[in-house]
Chain A
Amino acid sequence: MTDQDRPQYQQLLARKVEVVNVGLEGFVKDLSDCGIDVVHVDWKPSAGGDPQMAALLAKLGV
């Protein structure tokens, strides 16, 4: 089977993997320890994940 015959996700993992990690920073170390290049994006859900407050903020224009 050639690379072109594999499903797309398998092609992805057959090459050098580069990761953008969004949110929980803990995954960054695990991947780095495996020698994988990782860029971390510091992100949190709106209002710390409080759905009522997030809904209110959305209506107030955030």
Chain B
Amino acid sequence: MKLIEDANQQALARILEGEPRLIDIVPARELIPGLRERMILHAGPPISWDRMCGPMRGAVAGAIVFEGWAQDLPTATKLAANGEIEFHPNHHFGAVGPMTGMTTMSMPLFVVENARFANRAYCAINEGLGKVMRFGGNDASVLKRLAWLRDVFGPTLGKAIRAAGGIDLKSIVARGLSMGDELHQRNLACSSVFLREIAPWMARTSTDNAVLAECLAFIGQNDQFFLNIAMAMGKAITDPANGIRGSTIVTTMCRNGTDFGIRVSGLGEQWFTAPVEMPEGLYFAGYSEKDANPDMGDSAIVETIGLGGFAMAAAPAVAGFVGAGAPSEAGNFTRSMGEITVAQNPEWTIAAMDFAGVPTGIDIRLVVDSGVVPVINTGIAHREPGIGQVGAGVVKAPLACFQQAIVAIAKDLGVS
């Protein structure tokens, strides 16, 4: 159908033409109009407290205490259960968040600007490994780190980013892909390149050597630091591609630990959801599938722009880490995702695929026709709140989301 083909070309062009730059770190309340007291943004499609999974509830309780809306976790939990907290998806406010994806007013957010289309997107700062709020962690150590990110790290890094005049992100991703990253479960190269670019600016703008050393070490010790920047980049790239009538290109994929949700360019803000699946992967010592929570997080925005599971061929080491088979099989994931996408990104290439571009522009028609669903590289959270990450794996997007979207777009276009 010509209308669809033309619309898809337009959506694809908008995705490929994006010019994302990291320009600042700013407290959420200054960036997001309407984000107020007792309001929490979460990962995935809309969800109410009664349907939230354990880690999401744990993170919510922690965020409430962090913002000072309750003195302790039990009180915070009661507040949420009594309907005194307002919940909304990050995606409704130009933001994304990994795993539980908590965003509240005082949290510092990365600001990524897409210069080509003059839009911005936001994501919280990656907290590092161990007990962290994104995996449902909420004890004193988690809240203390969040306070340090808010009071020390965020302002320090933000000042350096502004002094640098922003950091171009597409070139970092291109280099990272050639250095073994796929930008979801491996961000070691991109984090290192980012640190190399920002460190001189941090040194120039910092007035306290001890703080500078602490901040540099925080970035340097976190292999996944760049993930959250890549997520804000993904959101900034895909938002301009949304709302093109007739386009069957996916502009959002995300999960909240209960539901998987997608949005499609031609269908605007409408969500298509289905129960989220359990990741298949490898577990840390002492944990097994019995401990795992179904998949969650807005991080699938990186797969939406052709990275993560779609770029597995760039990161053969990840295939082993997420339990997806031998490193030599990594290319099969990328080739398979090529069957459900309309193009390759010529700026983000994979050496192991003879410099083919990452598969870009997921077409819901191709997904439903072939039965091949997007694959997402993901961390696995413990099903109980407050424990954290227990493994890493691969999860498949549920086909039902794409089938619903096909029916909806057919209806919208008067096809039956």
Contacts and interface: CB of A to CB of B under 8 A. Distances in A.
A61 B4 contact: yes
A62 interface: yes
A54 to B, nearest CB: 8
A59 B415 contact: yes
B343 interface: no
A48 B366 CA distance: 12
Interface of B: 1, 4-5, 248, 365-366, 368-371, 403, 406-407, 409-410, 413, 415-416
B371 A56 contact: no
16 contacts: A44-B370, A47-B368, A47-B369, A53-B403, A53-B406, A56-B410, A56-B416, A57-B369, A57-B406, A59-B1, A59-B410, A60-B4, A60-B365, A61-B1, A62-B366, A62-B369
Contacts of B4: 60-61
Nearest to B365: A62
Contact of A46 (B369, B403, B415): B369
B368 A57 contact: yes
B370 A60 contact: no
A61 B365 contact: yes
Given A56-B410, A60-B415, A61-B5, 4 more contacts: A56-B406, A57-B369, A57-B406, A61-B1
Contact of A56 (B5, B366, B415): B415
B370 A56 contact: no
A61 B359 CA distance: 20
Contacts of A59: 1, 410, 415
B305 to A, nearest CB: 23
Contacts of B409: 60
A42 to B, nearest CB: 10
Contacts of A47: 368-369, 371
Contacts of B248: 60
A57 B1 contact: no
Contacts of A60: 1, 4, 248, 365, 406, 409-410, 413, 415
Given A44-B370, A48-B371, A57 B365 contact: yes
A14 to B, nearest CB: 39
Interface core residue of A48, A54, A62 (most chain B CB under 10 Å): A62
A61 B2 CA distance: 8
Interface string A23-38: 0000000000000000
A57 B248 CA distance: 11
